[in-house]
Structures are given as structure tokens and as C-alpha cells.
A = this chain, B = another copy of it.
């Protein structure tokens, strides 16, 4: 009998990439056993998928409600302990809500909900439920991001005075200029995606990352979004000016029409004693700039890294790990929390990060609609 954590998954069937990411991540530290779930609303596809990925079909359920009902009948020692919610965005809230209300731990894809109000509701429920709740801002699992966080916390770059985070992609370019394609893309349909495309999908990563690595809170924002065509209802590009205090400023730059860019997420934090820079596409390099010393390039697995950073590296220096490993670190953090083992602060993003992210999206759109004016977050 395996003593792994029993994991269920909602969504992520078929060719879902997010499904692959979560399954591999869950396997990385020998902590989870995928026990069942609802991978697909079509029951035949659902069980077919379970067979394809080689798991028993007895706990592959017809639908979400059945899953809850049947799992609750099982003794706690057999019941799924944590459920990953990988369904379309609008289902995150009702599913997560019911899971929490029934005592399950939850791993929820981002955006956590479709509105800030839902996010606040969920936060209330989670406080009462007191189970583990993680939101998968995947990029915070990278060892060099954890290293950045700890270097800033320990004062290596002094007082933060300038923040500049970029998240540029180009994938909407071939869609946006074709009237039919843009009408047919769910990401550009407010009914399916909420009030924002670019900010909602990638701007939130940037926002969460800033608060994660600096430990600071964004106080005010001024946003300028671009919809490119008058009949397009969703932003595909946007710049957000940030204020942390009167004289500490920053910006988030996001685009999905930066043609040719893949997933160019870059974090630049400058303090009065130095700067730190990181790029997601080359995640194993952390650049430390100072005024008087040579540029330093930190890499994972070296003894000079912080404990939290080293904890997220499986192999010695020179053996590059990637985004699966980053998500694996988040899953391991959740496993530790579920097992009530020691879990470093920052091992996984919590419901509070999810709530902040939803607030950010709404405020950005508000600022833009008010004619690019300052709005409090």
C-alpha cells in the first residue's frame, strides 16, 4: 500500500498541456499518487484518458459532484487528499468552493476565480476550512526566483527603488488581425475569460512575481491597455505604472502581440545597493549587479544559494532544470503542508496571492477605462 498523497485531478484530459505539467510535477518528489478525478466532461473520453495515462478507472468519476459524493463515502485514509483544479477559468470558483467546504486540500490553476468578489468569498471559506490551498503561479517555483526573493529579503540590494517586470508573448498576433479568428478565440471572449485577456493571463504572473520576490505591496496603479481593433473586447497588450510609495515606482509591461516573442517573462529589481535580473526563458541564471564589483551570475545548486533555493534543485550545477521542475517544487511544498512537515514560507503561492491577483486585474481595467488614471489596489 503506497503512502503517497492521494491526488485527484479535475480537467487536464486529452491533449491538455496543463494536465501534463501537473502530472509530471506531482511525480517529481515521489510524493503523490494520481488516484482519479474527472479529466473530461464526456465520460467515455474521461475513462479513455485514464486508461491512456495508465491509472485505474474505478475512481475516475462521471462528474465533479459524483466525485465529491463518492470520495466522501471512503474512509479518510483512502479518500483523495488534494484535488488539482485545471478546468476552464469560470469553473475554478464553484469547484474550489465546494472542495473547501468538504474538507479537501486544493491546488488551483490561475486565475483563481473570474472576479475579485469570488476570490474574497473563497478566501473567507478557506479561512474556515483551514485546509491547504495553493494557486499555481508556476514561475515562483524556480530556484533562482527563490534565491532572488531571499537575497532581497536579506538586504543584498538594499532598499528597493525601481521595479520593472516584462511579460511579452506574440501568440495573439496571428489571431488579432483576422476578424474571424479573433471572434473564435475563447481568450478574447469576455464570457469565457472574464474582463481581461492579457492582464488576466500574464499580467497577473508579473504582479504576483513582484510581490513574491520583493515582499512589497503595490499601492496604486495607472494602466494603458491596447485592444487593437474597435470590435475586439479584450486587451492584448498593456502597460501598468506602479507605485509602492511616493518615491518607489515600477511598471509591468505585458503583451501578446509582441510578434515572435515566446514566453519572455523578465524580472528586474533595483535597490540602492544593487540590482537583480532574471529571465524565465533562461531560468537558471540570476544576474546580480552592483556598482563596484563585476557582474555576478548565480546558478542553481551552488552552496552560495539560500536554503530555499537549494531545496528546489535536484541535481548538481550544470544540469539544467526547467519549468516542470519549477512546478514540481510547488507541488512538493503543498505535499509538505498537507503532511504538516516543515514548509518554508514561499514554497507555494497561497489563496492570498490569488486574491491579490484578482484585485489587480479589476483595478487595471478600471484605470484604463477611467482614461488612464491612478487607482488604488
How far is it, in angstroms, between the C-alpha of A265 and the C-alpha of B258 when the chains are bound? 19
Judged by a CB distance under 8 angstroms, whether A162 is at the interface is: yes
Question: For A228, what are the chain B residues with a Cβ–Cβ distance below 8 Å?
Answer: 161, 247
What's the tally of chain A residues with a CB closer than 8 Å to chain B? 97
Judged by a CB distance under 8 angstroms, whether A219 is at the interface is: no
B-contacting 9-mer, from A74-82, A111-119, A282-290, A356-364 = A282-290
Judged by a CB distance under 8 angstroms, whether A321 is at the interface is: yes
Q: Is A237 within 8 A of B323, CB to CB? A: no
How far is it, in angstroms, between the C-alpha of A322 and the C-alpha of B102 when the chains are bound? 38
Judged by a CB distance under 8 angstroms, whether A320 is at the interface is: yes
Q: Is B320 within 8 A of A56, CB to CB? A: no
B-contacting 9-mer, from A127-135, A309-317, A347-355 = A309-317
Within 8 A of B (CB), among A272-320: 272-275, 280-284, 288-299, 302-304, 314-320
Judged by a CB distance under 8 angstroms, whether A27 is at the interface is: yes
Within 8 A of B (CB), among A6-33: 17, 20-21, 23-24, 27-28, 30-31, 33
Question: For A161, what are the chain B residues with a Cβ–Cβ distance below 8 Å?
Answer: 173, 228, 257, 259
Given contacts A30-B53, A283-B320, A322-B325, contact A260 B315 (CB under 8 A): no
Q: Is A274 within 8 A of B290, CB to CB? A: no
Chain A, interface SS category: loop
Judged by a CB distance under 8 angstroms, whether A229 is at the interface is: yes
Judged by a CB distance under 8 angstroms, whether A241 is at the interface is: yes
Most B CB within 10 A of own CB, among A54, A169, A284, A317? A54
Partner of A170, one of B247, B289, B320: B289
Judged by a CB distance under 8 angstroms, whether A239 is at the interface is: yes
Task: Give the number of copies in the complex.
Answer: 4
Q: A129 CB to closest chain B CB, in angstroms?
A: 26
Question: For A258, what are the chain B residues with a Cβ–Cβ distance below 8 Å?
Answer: 162, 164, 268, 270, 275
B-contacting 9-mer, from A189-197, A209-217, A248-256 = A248-256
Query: Would you list the 8 A-B pairs with minimal beta carbon distance, nearest first?
Result: A260-B289, A263-B318, A262-B318, A27-B27, A4-B54, A322-B322, A30-B53, A294-B296
Supply 7 A–B pairs (Cβ within 8 Å), ascending by A. A1-B56, A3-B51, A162-B237, A229-B247, A260-B290, A294-B296, A294-B304
* Further pairs besides A255-B270, A280-B318, A372-B372: 12, Cβ < 8 Å: A30-B52, A161-B259, A170-B270, A226-B249, A241-B241, A251-B253, A258-B270, A259-B289, A288-B294, A294-B296, A295-B299, A314-B324
